């Protein structure tokens, strides 16, 4: 197991997306990125199918477990279970704005209860040896962002927390859907930068609206780390440059073709364990984003990957379609160059 890494670059916990298959794919793309689970509620951890919810391949380290809840004792117990499963970090969700989360008194609505969050974090910190961290918004509804964010952070610091991931938007619990809450509230990056300036001893990562690696590099001038969400999912290929550009490793960027070849053993192993192909390959749909054959790649995986008994041959067929499209473009480019020179 790799030693726990700082949050210089991480991939966000995303409901219905960042499952074990997705994280294994992202690990192929970057050896250093900190990966997060989907949010798992304390009730599910304590009473549900733990192996299905928490299981993962050891190649995924460093990997963090994100919990949802607001009962300190339950969070402490769930954190211990997460630590026993080998997670490198336990994170508390104080940012999800969904109706289900609000009705359960966890997620973004906890921005209104900083004392309770601090109590939860103190219980978690006392229960485990791995780091406990907070992922939060800058406020909810009519809260003053500066007051809400700094109050939450300071109270959690008093409970022993030193690492925070801040989604630099408010969450509007009344009037906006969870999807709208990812885009509509304006981003306030300067407030998160200021949090780092005024609390330099803390590890502050920024999240929200980060489109790619160029933006990551810019944010790192102001904060300790950057968390990439939807861009890392829909255009997974961009993660192939993270080890070199963000972590400074002397390695070549990994290409989407190399990713498929390196991910292939995981796909075959998962199929042998009884997982369905579509559940594995759905995370790969954006891998060839912007390249010739990307549409054929998505179509073949989506249409043929859902069939009963679909296997690795579907991936091979989709990959061949991309190779053929790339070759055709290169051939056209050579012909165009020859015609121009002869003309």
Q: pLDDT tens digits, residue range 27-80?
A: 999 999 999 999 999 999 999 999 999 999 999 999 999 999 999 999 999 999
Question: Would you say residue 3 has pLDDT above 90?
Answer: no
Question: Would you say residue 338 has pLDDT above 50?
Answer: no
Structure token digits, residue 86: 């080998």
- Which of 161-165, 185-189, 228-232, 338-342 has the lowest average pLDDT? 338-342
191 and 269 part of one domain: no
Annotated ligand binding at 227? The verdict is: no
- Report the pLDDT averaged over residues 105-124: 94
Q: Per the domain annotation, does 3 fall within a domain?
A: no
CATH number at residue 236: 3.20.20.70
- Which of 100-114, 208-222, 282-296 has the lowest average pLDDT? 100-114
For residues 171 and 137, the answer to whether their CB atoms sit within 8 Å is: yes
In 100-135, which positions are buried (b, 16+ CB within 10 angstroms) versus exposed (e)? ebbebebbbbbbebbebbbbbbbbbbebbebbbbbb
pLDDT band at 336 (very low <50, low <70, confident <90, very high): low
Q: Per the domain annotation, does 2 fall within a domain?
A: no
Q: Cα–Cα distances in Å, from 90 out to 46, 215, 234?
A: 15, 27, 25
220 and 267 part of one domain: no
Q: Residue 99: what pLDDT?
A: 65
Q: Per the domain annotation, does 116 fall within a domain?
A: yes
- Average pLDDT of the residues of the chain: 91
Q: Is 156 a catalytic residue?
A: no
If you compute the radius of gyration of the chain from its CA atoms, what whole number of angstroms results? 21
Question: In this prediction, what percent of the chain has a pLDDT beyond 70?
Answer: 93
Of 274, 269, 265, 285, the residue nearest 309 (C-alpha): 274
Last residue of one domain, picked from the residues 247, 275, 304: 247
105 and 164 part of one domain: yes
The number of distinct structural domains making up the chain is: 2
For residues 133 and 92, the answer to whether their CB atoms sit within 8 Å is: yes
Annotated ligand binding at 15? The verdict is: yes
- Report the pLDDT averaged over residues 239-267: 95
163 and 39 part of one domain: yes
Q: Per the domain annotation, does 1 fall within a domain?
A: no
82 and 143 part of one domain: yes
Higher pLDDT, 171 or 5: 171
Name the CA dihedral angle for 122, 172, 18, 116, rounded to a multiple of 10 degrees: 10
145 and 71 part of one domain: yes
Global pTM reads 0.90
Annotated ligand binding at 55? The verdict is: no
Q: Per the domain annotation, does 301 fall within a domain?
A: yes
For residues 20 and 55, the answer to whether their CB atoms sit within 8 Å is: yes
219 and 316 part of one domain: no
263 and 243 part of one domain: no
139 and 275 part of one domain: no
Last residue of one domain, picked from the residues 214, 247, 280: 247
Higher pLDDT, 342 or 299: 299
Q: Per the domain annotation, does 197 fall within a domain?
A: yes
Q: Per the domain annotation, does 17 fall within a domain?
A: yes
Q: Residue 15: what pLDDT?
A: 87
Annotated ligand binding at 23? The verdict is: no
pLDDT band at 2 (very low <50, low <70, confident <90, very high): very low
Last residue of one domain, picked from the residues 193, 216, 247: 247
- Which of 152-156, 234-238, 249-253, 262-266 has the lowest average pLDDT? 234-238
Q: Per the domain annotation, does 120 fall within a domain?
A: yes
Annotated ligand binding at 135? The verdict is: yes
276 and 333 part of one domain: yes
Annotated ligand binding at 230? The verdict is: yes
Number of H helices, E strands in the chain: 15, 8
221 and 305 part of one domain: no
* CA terminus-to-terminus distance, the chain: 61
For residues 225 and 275, the answer to whether their CB atoms sit within 8 Å is: no
Catalytic residue among 96, 109, 120, 136: 96
Q: Residue 4: what pLDDT?
A: 40
φ and ψ at residue 214, rounded to 5 degrees: -60, -45
Question: Would you say residue 124 has pLDDT above 60?
Answer: yes
- Domain range spanning residue 289? 256-341
Annotated ligand binding at 234? The verdict is: no
231 and 281 part of one domain: no
Q: Residue 104: what pLDDT?
A: 64
């Amino acid at each position: 197991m790799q030693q726990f890494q700082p949050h210089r670059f991480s991939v966000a916990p995303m409901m219905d997306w960042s499952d074990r298959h997705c994280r294994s794919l992202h690990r192929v793309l970057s050896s250093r990125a900190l990966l997060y689970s989907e949010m798992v509620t304390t009730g599910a951890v304590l009473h549900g199918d733990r192996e299905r919810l928490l299981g993962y391949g050891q190649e995924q380290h460093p990997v963090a477990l994100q919990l949802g809840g607001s009962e300190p004792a339950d969070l402490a117990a769930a954190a211990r279970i997460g630590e026993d499963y080998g997670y490198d970090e336990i994170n508390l969700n104080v940012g999800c704005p969904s109706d289900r989360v609000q009705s359960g008194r966890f997620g973004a609505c906890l921005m209104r209860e900083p004392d309770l969050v601090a109590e939860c974090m103190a219980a978690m910190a006392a229960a485990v040896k791995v780091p406990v961290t907070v992922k939060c918004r800058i406020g909810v509804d009519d809260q003053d962002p500066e007051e809400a964010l700094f109050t939450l952070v300071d109270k959690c610091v008093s409970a022993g927390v030193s690492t925070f991931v801040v989604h630099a938007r408010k969450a509007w619990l009344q009037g906006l859907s969870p999807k709208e809450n990812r885009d509509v509230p304006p981003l306030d990056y300067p407030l998160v930068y200021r949090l780092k300036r005024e609390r330099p001893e803390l590890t502050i990562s920024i999240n929200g609206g980060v489109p790619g690696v160029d933006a990551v590099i810019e944010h790192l001038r102001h904060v300790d780390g950057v968390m990439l969400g939807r861009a890392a999912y829909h255009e997974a290929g961009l993660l192939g440059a993270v080890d070199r550009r963000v972590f400074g490793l002397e390695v070549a960027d990994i290409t989407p073709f190399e990713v498929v070849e390196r991910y292939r053993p995981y796909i075959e192993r998962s199929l042998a364990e009884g997982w369905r192909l579509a559940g594995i390959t759905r995370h790969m749909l954006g891998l060839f984003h912007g390249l010739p054959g990307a549409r054929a790649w998505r179509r073949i995986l989506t249409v043929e990957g859902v069939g009963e008994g679909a296997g690795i041959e579907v991936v091979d067929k989709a990959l061949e379609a991309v190779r053929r499209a790339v070759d055709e473009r290169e051939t056209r480019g050579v012909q165009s160059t020859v015609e121009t020179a002869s003309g």
